[in-house]
Structure 1
Amino acid sequence: MDSMNQLTDTGRRAPATAPPQVARLRRAISLFFALDGFVFAGWVVRIPAIKEQIHASAGALGLALLGVSVGSVATMLLTGKLCRRYGNHPVTVVTAALLSLSVALPPLTHSALHLGLVLLLFGAAYGGLNVAFNAAAVDLAEAVRRPILPSFHAAFSAGGLVGAGLGGLLAPRLSPLCHLLLLTATGLVVTAYAGRVLLRTPGPPATGQVPRRDGTDAVPGCGRAAVGRTRLFVTLYGLITLCTAYGEGALADWGSLHLSADLRTGPGAAAAGYAVFALLMTVSRMSGTWLLERLGDTPVLVAGGLLAAVGMLVGALAPQLWLVYLGYALTGLGLANVFPVAVGGAGALAGPHGVAVASTLGYSGILLGPPSIGFLAEAYGLPGALTTIAALAALAALLGRVVGRGRVGRRGRRRAPC
């Protein structure tokens, strides 16, 4: 079967007989997603304390924090190759263990340079884990023939909420070292428990992938033309992840500041704005499978992008607090399932390599978002700068439509025998 047909656009996929290990695999992979969000959020809430510990200026801290981004982006494509060679499950377990261990290193540093170096390792583990468990989740979704990827990303969001909330409670009571060592212990326990399931349960075979001699995955088809189409579609999916991740990263860093600086709210009301966004994103991802099975991939991509665009315009330009909250909520609802659908589409077409490409482009969006908003805010004001989130969400909707029409057109043509 032509793998361009793997992700049907109706959303009503033929049910597959699920072997007994599917439920165990789904729980185990969900635990790794939740662990990723939990550990990363726990680290983020201790950044101010680490800054004081190493006596770093804001500029020096910013350069050190780039270590996370550089390590992640540099590792993602390599992880795709490792997954093809050793399997998604072993790579998931190893990178989760590395993430759990490396999160305890920042409190041991005494300068911005040392912090940046250990954050390179932390970022490499974080980026590697994101590729590996997304690839494992895509394989499982293809095996059961259900769009279950949003549920895994809901676990990530829930883990982040728990990690941030717990971090806020522990920060006044525990030193950064004790807190992050607690994260390490928790991460290793979860990795040992869920990793045992992954390592003992063989992963489902990737659907429709043909290993090539050059180590890449290709679509069964008529030679280079089919490979070229696959690369084009994977790139389009990657651009969709970039557009949506830009919004997530920018809103996380600047959403609360918009409320406090432009609407003159207090710290609590400002923090509540991002909480509304994150909560609605989690809720939307929990219902993502239901939506995809009834509407299909393309309607979710298009409607999600457009909803986020409208929501962010309201959130950026509305003069009243309740309207900004409403805009943030709509943005979270809209963006929530676009990223997992795009990663799943790329993974279904090109296996771990597709996941790695989409994840790398998506993480690039997270990198571009916050500094871009900062530069634009100086020139046009923060409300105007935040409208770029709406513009890129609308672009994601357009790209989702292009991808959907391309898949439908591809299915509508008979493929000549090779």
Structure 2
Amino acid sequence: MSENPARAGRWAVAACFFVNGFMVGSWAPQIPLLVGRFGFSETVLGLLILLFGVGAVVSMPVCGWLIGRHGSRAVLRVSGLLCAAALLLVAAASAVPTLIAALVFFGVFLGAMDVAMNSNAVVVERRLQRAIMSSSHGFWSLGGFVGAGVGGVLAERWGHLGHAGAVTLVALALVLAAMPKLIVERKPAVAGGGFAGFPRSPLVYLTGIVALFSMVPEGAVLDWAALYLRQEMGAGLAEASLAFTAFSGAMALMRFLGDRVRNRLGAVATMRLSGAVAAAGMLGAGMAPSPLLATLAFALAGLGIANMVPIAFSAAGNQPGISSAAGMSVATTVGYSGLLAAPSLVGFVAERTGFAPIFIAFSALLAVVFLMAHLVRPADGIASQPAAGT
């Protein structure tokens, strides 16, 4: 019995999502090791991490341009291989200039892989004529969980180089296994291009803002929820860490269920439901009288936020009149640019107001996403878009 190329392509792109999340999760245990190796202050370390993020964001529009000319499969193959090897370069760096170059390299190909795998997931959706974006992001969350969870143990036992070497071997093996199964789209027609190849249609930029408004609260919870419970509610260290665990666990679970919900309700209704649940959860977290209630509220917010970014990305990749690569590069660039700036902005404001008003404000931001849900209607047009070639 011959293998269904679309189903094989679906699992191949899922493996790429897992690898991308796995690399992000594996990077986390290396961060404190950099402090020990180079003696960096928190400020210097923050600037280096910012360089890593800037490399990712800068590569995203360039990657969209490359996908428009060579297809998502070709770009995903190259960026996946280079991303898989990048953490080893960071671990092997023995001087600050080399480390800076390695971090930028890592960021560039992590970002390029992000755009390429999301674009390829849109191609798979068109072939299968059903949603797979949320569960694909679920594999990303799973990869991050595995990378961070196993990485700490390996780094402690084997050191920074042993850990990075093991991560590289696993990531390369998965990428090489996925490469032959990835679906290739037909040569995309470059339409709706504006200056430097950016789309002219304002709708794709508004969809990018939906992604941005969905990603910023997510980043705020991941970066600041534990500190909020510890400093403002008096929670112990273990109790405070449960906020992140509850949020990310609920988000990963709902991402694996999200495609089923979206296929049943449609993208717009799912986005509205998600926005309402997320806003309620974030409001509850900001007004909670105890760490336990705040943790439960963050879990509720995770259930809501889980499918918002995947739906926004699917809508961006299915914009009429432009290639999926152009739409995806806009959405990822706008979304991740805000995600870079948000942590420092939240920290600046929190010093003056505390965290509770910030989480309440993010509830209002998520309510705006609820009102903008009609903008993700193109995600419901999977079946009307051209299918991928073989």
Distance in 1 separating the partners of 2:133 and 2:186: 17
Deviation, 1:270, is 1.5
Q: What's the counterpart of residue 190 of structure 1?
A: 174
Alignment of 1:148-297 (within 5 A): 148-198=132-182, 202-205=183-186, 210-212=189-191, 231-297=201-267
Whether the 8 Å CA contact 2:137–2:255 is kept in 1: the answer is yes
**Amino acid corresponding to residue 222 of structure 2 in structure 1:** A
Distance in 2 separating the partners of 1:400 and 1:176: 44
1:287 partner SS:
helix
Q: What's the counterpart of residue 18 of structure 2?
A: 34
2:156 partner SS:
coil
Of the structure 1 ranges 257-266 and 237-246, higher mean CA displacement relative to structure 2 is found in 257-266
Deviation, 1:273, is 1.2
Deviation, 1:216, is 9.4
Q: What's the counterpart of residue 368 of structure 1?
A: 341
Whether the 8 Å CA contact 1:243–1:396 is kept in 2: the answer is yes
**Amino acid corresponding to residue 192 of structure 1 in structure 2:** L
Distance in 2 separating the partners of 1:271 and 1:329: 13
**Amino acid corresponding to residue 42 of structure 1 in structure 2:** S
Q: What's the counterpart of residue 327 of structure 2?
A: 354
Distance in 1 separating the partners of 2:135 and 2:56: 23
Structure 1 pair 304/182, CA: closer, same or farther in 2 (3 Å)?
same
TM-score (ref. length: structure 1): 0.85
Q: What's the counterpart of residue 371 of structure 2?
A: 398
Distance in 2 separating the partners of 1:210 and 1:85: 9
Structure 1 pair 357/402, CA: closer, same or farther in 2 (3 Å)?
closer
Of the structure 1 ranges 365-374 and 122-131, higher mean CA displacement relative to structure 2 is found in 365-374
**Amino acid corresponding to residue 314 of structure 2 in structure 1:** G
Alignment of 1:88-107 (within 5 A): 88-107=72-91
Deviation, 1:113, is 4.7
2:234 partner SS:
coil
2:54 partner SS:
helix
**Amino acid corresponding to residue 262 of structure 1 in structure 2:** E
**When you count helix as a share of all residues, which structure comes out higher?**
2
Q: What's the counterpart of residue 104 of structure 2?
A: 120
Structure 1 pair 314/93, CA: closer, same or farther in 2 (3 Å)?
same
Alignment of 1:399-414 (within 5 A): 399-401=372-374, 404=377
Whether the 8 Å CA contact 1:141–1:148 is kept in 2: the answer is yes
Structure 1 pair 100/191, CA: closer, same or farther in 2 (3 Å)?
same
Whether the 8 Å CA contact 2:135–2:259 is kept in 1: the answer is yes
Deviation, 1:110, is 4.3
Whether the 8 Å CA contact 1:55–1:111 is kept in 2: the answer is no
Any idea what the Cα deviations from partners look like across 1:194-229, whole Å, max 9, x if unmatched?
A: 11222xxx52448xx6434969999xxxxxxxx85x
Deviation, 1:192, is 1.0
What is the aligned length?
Answer: 376
Q: What's the counterpart of residue 357 of structure 2?
A: 384
Q: What's the counterpart of residue 120 of structure 2?
A: 136
Equivalent residue in structure 2 for 1:81, among 65, 83, 87: 65
Distance in 1 separating the partners of 2:3 and 2:344: 47
Distance in 2 separating the partners of 1:251 and 1:393: 13
**Amino acid corresponding to residue 262 of structure 2 in structure 1:** L
Q: What's the counterpart of residue 414 of structure 1?
A: none
Distance in 2 separating the partners of 1:314 and 1:356: 34
**Amino acid corresponding to residue 165 of structure 2 in structure 1:** L
Whether the 8 Å CA contact 1:238–1:358 is kept in 2: the answer is yes
Cα-Cα RMSD: 2.4
**Amino acid corresponding to residue 319 of structure 1 in structure 2:** P
Q: What's the counterpart of residue 7 of structure 1?
A: none
Whether the 8 Å CA contact 2:154–2:162 is kept in 1: the answer is no
Structure 1 pair 175/317, CA: closer, same or farther in 2 (3 Å)?
same
Of the structure 1 ranges 159-168 and 328-337, higher mean CA displacement relative to structure 2 is found in 159-168
Whether the 8 Å CA contact 1:308–1:334 is kept in 2: the answer is yes
TM-score (ref. length: structure 2): 0.90
Deviation, 1:171, is 3.3
2:235 partner SS:
coil
Distance in 2 separating the partners of 1:113 and 1:258: 36
Equivalent residue in structure 2 for 1:145, among 117, 129, 136: 129
Whether the 8 Å CA contact 1:139–1:204 is kept in 2: the answer is yes
1:105 partner SS:
helix
The reply to whether residue 298 of structure 1 matches residue 281 of structure 2 is no
Any idea what the Cα deviations from partners look like across 1:146-180, whole Å, max 9, x if unmatched?
A: 11111111111111111111123223212111111
Any idea what the Cα deviations from partners look like across 1:243-282, whole Å, max 9, x if unmatched?
A: 1111121111111111111122222111121011111101
1:174 partner SS:
helix
Distance in 1 separating the partners of 2:237 and 2:357: 22
1:175 partner SS:
helix
Any idea what the Cα deviations from partners look like across 1:342-394, whole Å, max 9, x if unmatched?
A: 10111011310100100111111211221111011012112222333222212
Distance in 2 separating the partners of 1:84 and 1:402: 23
Equivalent residue in structure 2 for 1:45, among 29, 48, 57: 29
Distance in 2 separating the partners of 1:43 and 1:108: 13
Any idea what the Cα deviations from partners look like across 1:85-122, whole Å, max 9, x if unmatched?
A: 11111111111111111111222334555433321110
Distance in 2 separating the partners of 1:365 and 1:393: 15
Q: What's the counterpart of residue 282 of structure 2?
A: 312
The reply to whether residue 67 of structure 1 matches residue 67 of structure 2 is no
Distance in 2 separating the partners of 1:386 and 1:109: 39
Distance in 2 separating the partners of 1:24 and 1:240: 31
